[in-house]
Amino acid sequence: MSDTFTFDAKTEASQPKCIVSEYNPKVSYHFNEEAIPYHFGSHHPMKPFRLMLTDNLVLNYGLQDHMDWYKPRPATKEESLEFHNEDYIDFLQKVTPTTLQNFPDAIQKFNIGDDCPIFDGLYRYASICAGASLDASRKIANKQSEIAINWSGGLHHAKKFEASGFCYINDIVLSIMNLLRTHPRVLYVDIDVHHGDGVQEAFYLSDRVMTLSFHKYDGYYFPATGKLDEVGAEEGKHYALNVPLEDGITDEQYTGLYKSVLSQVLNKFQPSAIVLQCGADSLGGDRLGVFNLNIKAHAECVKFTKSFGIPMMVLGGGGYTPRNVSRLWTYETAVCVGGELNPDLPKNIPFYDYFGPDYSLLPKLDGKVENKNTRAYLENTHASLMERLRYLDSAPSVEFQIIPPDLEGKNEDTEKALQDAAEDSMI
C-alpha cells in the first residue's frame, strides 16, 4: 500500500487477512496446544515450538473463521495398541529420563538414542499428536469433514515395535486403520524429504492401502529405504510406489513429477480417501533437508491433490527450520480452505522478529543446494514408475464389514470423567 493512503492501527488490524474466493470443501483443524511445551533437548532438531508458531500464524491470518476447530483428546493406550506392540507402549508409558537406567535392554530393543531420546512427558506428547490425527480420521470417516488437518501429526517413521526418526507413535498408521473401517481403499502420499518407511512397512502386505512417497534416496540418507524396487509383497505387491530423488530438485521438476505420478495412481488405484503427509523438510534451506523447494511449490502439491475432491487428511511431519515450517503449514491451511493470504506477515503476531529480515510468508528458499536431478534421471525414474503402475489393472475389490459404532471416538472412562467434572463445576 502506498504511503499516501494508509489505515490507522485499529483499522489495519480489522482488515481481512484471508480472502476465500471460491467454493471449498468442509475443512476441520485438529490441534491440542498441550503438545507445544515438550522439549526433545537443546541440540535436537525436532522443535514442538514450531507448532506454536504455526498456530499463531493461522489465528492471526483469520483462517479459523473458515474451518471447524477441534481440540482433540490424546490417543488412549488401547488406540495405540491397534498397531503398536504392548511391551513398547508400556515402556513409553513408564520411562522417564531418571528411570531409563531401570530398562537396561530398552535402548537397543526400542531404538532409543540421540534421534529418539527419552524426555519428560514423552508418552503424553506422542499420545497428543496421535490423538489429533485419530480425531481427524474420525471426522473424515463419518463425513463431518472433507479435509481434516493436523500439523502435529505425520510422524511417519515410528515402527510397530520401536521408535525411529524422532517418531514414537505412528499416528498415520493408526489413522489409516481407522479410515479402512469405512473406506475400501486409502492412498497415502508422502512429500517429506525422508522416505515414509514406517507407513510403507505397516501396509506392505495390503492391497487396500497404497503408499506413494517422494523423497531423497541414495542408500545412505535416512532412513536409507525407498528405492524403486520396493513395491510391496504378497497381496500388497505393486501397492507401494517410491519416487527416489537426488539433491536439489527444483519447484518445476518436483511439481511436474508429482502431478504426473499422482494422476496415474489415482486413476489406477481409485482411493476413496487420501492421507497426505506434508513434511516441511523438503523445503529449501531446511536444517536437515537437501531439496530446493519454495513454499508455493510444496503447497501446489496439496492444491493439486485437493482438486480431485477425494476426502483427505492433511498432516505435518518433518521440518527443522521452525519459521519456515510455520510459514508453509499456514499457507497450506489456506490452500485447504481456498483462501488467499497477504504475503506480508501480520505485524501483531508473537515472535514477529523471528521471521526477519524479510517478514514475508513466502521467502525465497530455492537455489541453496546444487541440483543433481538431471532431465535424463527424472525421465528414467518416471518411466520406471509408469511401468510399475501397469500392474495395477484395476482397483482391488473389498468386502465391506459392519461399520463400527464408535466413530465419534468416545471412550467410556474419559466421557464419564468429563461428565463428573462438569457436574462438579456446577455445584
pLDDT in tens, 305-364: 999 999 999 999 999 999 999 999 999 999 999 999 999 999 999 999 999 999 999 999
* 140-144: average pLDDT: 97
| Residue 93: pLDDT over 80 | yes
Residue/partner pairs of 347-354 with CB below 8 Å, 24 or more apart? 348/13, 348/60, 349/56, 349/57, 349/60, 350/56, 351/53, 351/56, 354/53, 354/323
**Side-chain-side CA neighbours of residue 224 (13 Å):** 3
* 381-387: average pLDDT: 98
| Marked catalytic residue, from 30, 157, 183, 238 | 157
Banded pLDDT at 416 (limits 50, 70, 90): low
Nearest to 127 by CA among 35, 6, 2: 35
pLDDT, tens digit (0-9, with 9 covering 90-100), for 206-232: 999 999 999 999 999 999 999 999 999
Tell me what pLDDT residue 63 has. 97
| Residue 396: pLDDT over 70 | no
Banded pLDDT at 113 (limits 50, 70, 90): very high
Binding residues for a divalent metal cation: 192, 194, 281
| Residue 109: pLDDT over 60 | yes
Q: Active site includes 157?
A: yes
Give the residues across from 339 on adjacent strands: 20
Q: Which residue has the higher pLDDT, 13 or 328?
A: 328
| Residue 292: pLDDT over 50 | yes
Binding residues: 115, 165, 192, 194, 281, 320
| Residue 5: pLDDT over 70 | no
Alpha-carbon distance of 24 to 373, in angstroms, equals 35
Q: Which residue has the higher pLDDT, 399 or 375?
A: 375
CA 112 to chain centre: 23
Tell me what pLDDT residue 402 has. 43
Banded pLDDT at 426 (limits 50, 70, 90): very low
Binding residues for substrate: 115, 165, 320
DSSP 30-91: E--GGGTT--S-TT-S--THHHHHHHHHHHHTTGGGGSEEE-PPPPPHHHHTTTS-HHHHHH
| Residue 271: pLDDT over 60 | yes
And the C-alpha cell for 269? 488405484
Exposed/middle/buried for residue 247 (C-beta within 10 Å: 0-12, 13-18, 19+): middle
Tell me what pLDDT residue 24 has. 76
Instruction: Note whether 282 and 193 are within 8 A (CB).
Output: yes
Helices (H), 158-235: 171-179, 197-202
| Residue 199: pLDDT over 80 | yes
CATH of domain 16-426: 3.40.800.20
Instruction: Note whether 75 and 134 are within 8 A (CB).
Output: yes
Pairing status of strand 339-341 against strand 18-20: antiparallel
Alpha-carbon distance of 238 to 308, in angstroms, equals 23
Q: Is 297 helix (H, G, I), strand (E, B) or coil?
A: helix
Q: What is the pTM of this model?
A: 0.91
| Residue 71: pLDDT over 80 | yes
Tell me what pLDDT residue 299 has. 98
And the C-alpha cell for 336? 485447504
Domain ranges of the chain: 16-426
Tell me what pLDDT residue 392 has. 85
Tell me what pLDDT residue 413 has. 61
Q: Which positions ≥6 away from 427 have C-beta within 8 Å?
A: none
Instruction: Note whether 26 and 144 are within 8 A (CB).
Output: yes
Banded pLDDT at 108 (limits 50, 70, 90): very high
Tell me what pLDDT residue 13 has. 55
Alpha-carbon distance of 57 to 343, in angstroms, equals 12
Alpha-carbon distance of 5 to 272, in angstroms, equals 50
Question: Cα dihedral sign for 255, 256, 262, 263?
Answer: positive
The CA radius of gyration of the chain, in Å to the nearest whole number, is 21
Rounded to 10 deg, the angle between the 375-389 and 251-269 helix axes is 10
Tell me what pLDDT residue 155 has. 98
Residues of the chain with pLDDT > 90, as a percent, come to 86
Tell me what pLDDT residue 331 has. 98
| Residue 262: pLDDT over 60 | yes
| Backbone angles phi and psi of 149, in degrees to 5 | -110, 135
| Residue 2: pLDDT over 50 | no
Q: How far is residue 180 from each of residues 126, 184, 404, measured CA to CA in Å?
A: 22, 6, 11
- Rounded mean pLDDT of the chain? 91
